[in-house]
């Protein structure tokens, strides 16, 4: 590994739907890897039917760091049946009110590396110039997102069994032992990690993070050391 891009991503609200919820959708606390793949593809304009071919875990490495506390609220939303009404919105009579769990004031720092130099350079240029091909959202099309390029880091893979301070959400596959702190609020969520172009999820993975966006101190079997000495782990 050579270079890693970092950019901040935020919005007023976010909803990353948990797969097992239906009538009252719940949200993950951090965006899953699959969601971030779609967001990165939207920045550079990859077709939604093809982008997953370019963002498998063999090609793209992605990490996410919480920059704000995890705050969740519940709001009611009216869903309307547009199929029968066609283009005449005033003819829509059927409505269903559903309570959505939303993240309030979410903000994340995203780290990304891509093996394809052309995709990496295109992504870097779009981030630096604050441009996107498609509009960015945080899970739902109504929940618009903003972003800001932070830096391009020189990075190296460190494979050693040692206690390290990890900035990002920590996959359990990298965890050997977690050093618990009294004032920390640890959360663990099992999130989709890889999926096929038809949206079939092929892999789920548990991830650990701290609700108030504090770093985790843990013994890990692998991490990424940035040029400033900070450590991250890819989802």
- Put simply, whether the predicted model's pTM sits higher than 0.75 gets the answer yes
| Measured distance CA(157)–CA(164) in Å, rounded | 13
Whether residue 78 is contained in a domain is answered as: no
- Judge whether 14 and 50 are in contact, CB under 8 Å: no
Whether residue 84 is contained in a domain is answered as: no
Q: Could you tell me whether strands 3-10 and 60-66 are parallel, antiparallel, or unpaired per DSSP bridges? A: unpaired
> Three-state SS for 147?
strand
DSSP secondary structure letters along 113-138: EES-HHHHHHHHHHHHTT--SS--BS
| pLDDT tens readout for residues 205-227 | 999 999 999 999 999 999 999 99
Whether residue 153 is contained in a domain is answered as: yes
Band (pLDDT 50/70/90 cuts) for residue 156 is: very high
Contacts (Cβ under 8 Å, ≥6 apart) of 90: none
Whether residue 23 is contained in a domain is answered as: yes
Question: What CA–CA distances, in Å, run from 59 to 62, 192, 218?
Answer: 10, 17, 27
| Measured distance CA(23)–CA(171) in Å, rounded | 29
| pLDDT tens readout for residues 14-24 | 999 987 777 67
Whether residue 37 is contained in a domain is answered as: yes
Domain encompassing residue 181:
3-70+94-232
| Measured distance CA(202)–CA(58) in Å, rounded | 14
Q: Alpha-carbon Rg of the chain, whole angstroms? A: 19
Band (pLDDT 50/70/90 cuts) for residue 26 is: very high
Contacts (Cβ under 8 Å, ≥6 apart) of 120: 3, 5, 113, 114
**Does residue 188 carry a pLDDT above 90?**
yes
**Does residue 85 carry a pLDDT above 60?**
no
Whether residue 82 is contained in a domain is answered as: no
- Judge whether 205 and 191 are in contact, CB under 8 Å: yes
Q: Any idea what the CATH number is for the domain that residue 7 is in?
A: 3.30.70.2660
Band (pLDDT 50/70/90 cuts) for residue 123 is: very high
| Measured distance CA(151)–CA(130) in Å, rounded | 13
Q: Token pair 């994340």 is at which residue?
A: 108
Domain count, the chain: 1
pLDDT for the residue numbered 166: 95
**Does residue 104 carry a pLDDT above 90?**
yes
Whether residue 199 is contained in a domain is answered as: yes
Band (pLDDT 50/70/90 cuts) for residue 91 is: low
pLDDT for the residue numbered 82: 65
- Judge whether 82 and 128 are in contact, CB under 8 Å: no
Average pLDDT, the chain: 89
Between 3-12, 115-124, 159-168, the lowest mean confidence (pLDDT) is in: 159-168
Whether residue 18 is contained in a domain is answered as: yes
Mean pLDDT over 97-115 rounds to 93
Band (pLDDT 50/70/90 cuts) for residue 1 is: low
């Amino acid at each position: 590994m050579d270079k890693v891009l970092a950019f901040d991503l935020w919005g007023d609200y976010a909803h990353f739907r948990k797969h097992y919820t239906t009538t009252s959708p719940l949200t993950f606390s951090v965006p899953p890897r699959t969601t971030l793949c779609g967001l990165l593809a939207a920045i550079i304009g990859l077709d939604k039917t093809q982008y997953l071919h370019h963002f498998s875990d063999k090609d793209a490495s992605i990490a996410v760091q919480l920059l704000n506390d995890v705050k969740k609220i519940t709001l009611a939303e009216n869903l309307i049946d547009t199929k029968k009404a066609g283009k005449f919105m005033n003819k829509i009579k059927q409505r269903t009110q559903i309570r959505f769990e939303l993240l309030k004031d979410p903000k994340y720092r995203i780290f990304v590396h891509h093996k394809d130099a052309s995709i990496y350079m295109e992504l870097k240029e779009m981030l630096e110039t604050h441009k996107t091909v498609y509009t960015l959202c945080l899970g739902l099309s109504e929940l618009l997102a903003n972003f800001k390029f932070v830096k391009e880091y020189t990075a190296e893979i460190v494979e050693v069994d040692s206690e390290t301070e990890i900035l990002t959400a920590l996959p359990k596959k990298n965890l050997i032992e977690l050093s618990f702190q009294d004032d920390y609020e640890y959360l663990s969520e099992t999130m989709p990690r890889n999926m096929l172009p038809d949206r079939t999820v092929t892999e789920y993975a548990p991830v650990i993070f701290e609700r108030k966006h504090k770093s985790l101190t843990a013994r890990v079997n692998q991490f990424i050391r940035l040029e400033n000495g900070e450590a991250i782990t890819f989802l």
